[in-house]
Structure 1
Amino acid sequence: MDTAAPHAVEANGITLACRVWGPADAPPVVLLHCRGADGADWTQIAERLAAPPRPRRVYAPDLRGHGHSDWSGDYSARTMSEDVRALLAALGLGGADVVGHSLGGLVAYVLAQRHPGAVRRLVLEDVCAPVPLDPPRPPAERPDGELPFDWAMVRATDEERNAPDPVWWEHMDRITMPTLVIAGGPTSLIPQDQVARLAELIPGARLVTLDAGHLVHEARPEEFLAVLEAFLAE
């Protein structure tokens, strides 16, 4: 299979683009990117995860409103989580290890709350606890020119960041699978007390800090992979 280009998968009433690496019979792992990126953001990590001696079957979709996936209206974290659940079903996967960065991490933990059977192990990279921003994030100003994502998605996700669904907090106890929270340390743009709070809210979650800033897997890929692979192998 050519993994350089995304493959179209029909899921949850839309078309999702998904890149794939690794042997078809290897244990599956799904990588969910941050806002404004797409599945290609994970290429370096995916290639390593798919390689011997313990290869994984790696799936890196473009979330709706990003890259080659449909840019279609509803950009709530709940809807995006249902996209991922439908993607797993379309791929014939009963479940998978799920790794999410930033927005992808929010989508991942909402998926874990709503469909715990779909997630074997959960990894959240520099993700905030679901607390309202104070002061709220002001409306973002759209850059000029074409964008690789839907600007409506930015507005919608900012609204949810300012006023998270209270259910996200209330249902943290539904995340019962082994969970690893990776924090980016003091140079991250994400308040690290919020990342630590998220780890406290999830029963039995483990918190590891890598002083890399918000883009942990990009800035410190070797350290990120060491922590990730050890956790997934448990």
Structure 2
Amino acid sequence: MPLFPRRGAAPALDILAQMTTAPLHPVHHVDVGNLRLAYREAGDPDAPTLLLLHALGESSLSWDPLLDDLAALGYRVLAPDARGHGESDRPGEYTYELMTADTLGFCEVMAPAPRGVAIVGHSMGAVTAALVTAALTDPLPAGFPGRVTRLVLEDATPTRPGGPAFEPFDEPDHPVPFDWPLVNALRAQRSAPDPAWWDDSLRIEVPVLVVAGGPTSNVDQADLKDFAAGVADGRLIEIPVGHMVHDEAPAEFLAADGHFLGR
């Protein structure tokens, strides 16, 4: 389940079957502090890093069909499972601040070359990606491999105060592939966000591409437009297929990202 419900999107495995007959990229694991994170990867290990951050309730599996195409842009592509998701640890404590710290730690371990990283984030991952980018100001965190070089936010931005409240969801009566408590913990943060999330993120100076899902998305599209206009080097493109842009329109998403991220 992504941060906002899908509207007519096929399940991830159906999408994979439609796009490719290649096997899934294998899952690897790495220790980040006291947390064990799973991840998938593709591309030249010596190339600059492109980090893919998934939506709430998803995992690196959601990015799997795009890994090789994104790697072909000249990147080593890394797609981690966030805490509580996929095959990563489920520590029982979930905040955007912790996910930001996890991401910084993951980069410190996995991308030690001092050339920085480009980040693509979807929904929950877009919020984390913006917070990570905003955190990378002088002085840099000890050991971190440089700044974010480019940022893509797929149909989400950091929440600004005064927005709609996100009502808690009832726990489903069937198993889910993530730790259920994380859902309402993160939704509560989105309902009462730290004002610094929006304000600090607007001070991001690296190039930012906001990919909007258009009028059928459950996300406030005005926030996306305001964010793209408010950062120093922002641009916005609409792919009107709803919130699950890279699932519903992978070719269009890759074309937009390829133009923006191409090296």
TM-score (norm 1): 0.92
Helix, strand or coil: the match of 1:16? Answer: strand
State yes or no: 1:38 paired with 2:59.
yes
| 1:104 positional shift | 0.2
State yes or no: 1:66 paired with 2:85.
yes
Counterpart in the other structure of 1:166: 195
Q: Which amino acid aligns with 2:205?
A: T
Of residues 122, 127, 150, the one that matches 2:156 is 127
Distance 1:61 1:180 in 2: 21
Whether the 8 Å contact between 1:102 and 1:127 is mirrored in structure 2 is yes
Helix, strand or coil: the match of 1:49? Answer: helix
Give RMSD over aligned pairs.
1.8
Counterpart in the other structure of 2:251: 222
Q: Which amino acid aligns with 1:120?
A: T
Distance 1:32 1:17 in 2: 12
Q: Which amino acid aligns with 2:255?
A: A
Task: Please show how residues 1-234 of structure 1 align to structure 2 within 5 Å.
Answer: 4-51=25-72, 54-91=73-110, 92-94=112-114, 95-116=116-137, 117-132=146-161, 135-233=164-262
Gaps of 5+ in 2: 1-22, 138-145
Helix, strand or coil: the match of 2:193? Answer: coil
Task: Give the fraction of aligned pairs with identical amino acids, expressed as a percent.
Answer: 39
Distance 1:103 1:173 in 2: 18
Whether the 8 Å contact between 2:152 and 2:210 is mirrored in structure 1 is yes
Give the stretch that moved more between structures: 132-141 or 97-106. 132-141
Structure 1 residues 49 and 135: alpha-carbon distance in aligned structure 2, compared to 1, 3 A threshold: closer
Helix, strand or coil: the match of 2:56? Answer: coil
Distance 2:226 2:76 in 1: 31
